[in-house]
Amino acid sequence: MTALDVRPAARRGPVARWRILVPAAGLAVIALVSLVGPFFLVDPLDVGAGEPLSGPSGAHLFGVDQYGMDVLSRVVSAGRIDLLLALSASAIALVAGIPLGAFAGYRGGAWDQGLLRVAESFQAFPTMLLAMGVTLALGPSLPNLVAVIAVVNIPLYMRLARSAVIPLREADFVLAARCAGRSTFQIVRQHIVPNIAQVAIAQFSVTCAWAIQVLAGLSFIGIGVRMPTAEWGSMIRQGTDHMVTGQWWLSVFPGLAILLTVLALNQIAAAARRWGGPS
């Protein structure tokens, strides 16, 4: 132990630009490939694409699954459904959760306590298990899956917005607006919500990452997106039947797709948070 670094931790330099550019570029590539890739690849539902269970080769870069479907083509087209569902679920959670939390934090009192307790009750459930329960109750259609993932994430945004609003409640510009006779609703909408946009954006990225994991998890246990539709989680499930016999390409590639996408989203969130944080 030669040097114990005792310089204050808060005195970090400005966020290096590559910290946000690299993951953002990675995510852009993933989104672009999922969007336009399917036009250049074989049909992901074509069961005659190749010899079933044949490994990666020149003709099938990611190999062929047990039904004879091309794994590369399925991984790429699964990106569409995973990204789309995750994005819309996170957007709904944000649009519903931020105003609710802002309202609770601004109003204070019984409203605040009531909404906070509701949010806490939802957060008491392990996310995956709550998602399982709600999916069973609603039935596993695509819109319902979006709803489920949105519901489990709304409390997160509520609490985030609430804690960001409380210090703003007594800020001069808010007091001025109140003196000018603005209603609570107007103040929250015009003055409070724009001020918490930054934390919301960092959280949005994290929520998208979580949404992909939850969606893939639900599909993995068989109540999310179902075969034959290509989805990363259900593809991994498909591969578990063959992993002990060595057909690794069935589940390794869709898993890598999840890992890279989630990693990029998490890194963007981390960079955004540091950018906004105290420097």
Partner 1 sequence: MRMASYLGRRLAYFVVSVLGVLVITFVLTRTLPGNPVYLLAGPLTDQEKVDAATRELGLDRPLPAQFVTYVGDLVHGDLGTSLRTSQPVVDDLASRWPATAELAILAILVAVTWALVVGTLAAVFPRSVFARVADLVGSLGVSVPEFWLATVVILVFFTSLGIAPAPIGRISGTPPGTVTGFYTVDAVLTADWSALRASLAQLLLPVLTLALTTGAPMMRTAREFMTGVLGSPYIRAGRALGIPPARLVVRHALPNALLPVTTMVATMFGYLLGGTVMVEFVFAWPGVGKYAVDSITASDYAPVMAVVVLSAIVYLLVYLVTDLVHLVVDPRSRI
Shortest Å distance, C-beta 65 to partner 1: 14
Phi and psi torsions of 105, nearest 5°:
-65, -35
Which CB sits closer to partner 1, 38 or 217? Answer: 217
Tell whether the torsion through CA atoms of 234, 237, 243 and 245 is positive or negative.
Answer: negative
Which CB sits closer to partner 1, 63 or 239? Answer: 239
Shortest Å distance, C-beta 159 to partner 1: 13
Pair 27, 268: CB distance under 8 Å: yes
Shortest Å distance, C-beta 124 to partner 1: 4
Which residue type sits at 37? G
Phi and psi torsions of 69, nearest 5°:
-90, 145
- CA distances (Å), 172 to each of 99, 160, 176, 220, in order? 21, 22, 6, 51
Pair 156, 207: CB distance under 8 Å: yes
Which CB sits closer to partner 1, 181 or 246? Answer: 246
Other CB atoms closer than 10 Å to residue 221's CB: what's the count? 13
Shortest Å distance, C-beta 238 to partner 1: 11
Shortest Å distance, C-beta 271 to partner 1: 12
Give CA 179 to chain center in angstroms.
Answer: 40
Residues that bind partner 1 (CB under 8 A): 1, 4-10, 117-118, 120-122, 124-130, 132-134, 136-139, 209, 213, 216-217, 220-223, 233, 236, 239-240, 243-246, 248, 251-252, 254-255, 258-259, 262-263, 266-267
Which CB sits closer to partner 1, 42 or 142? Answer: 142
Which CB sits closer to partner 1, 51 or 120? Answer: 120
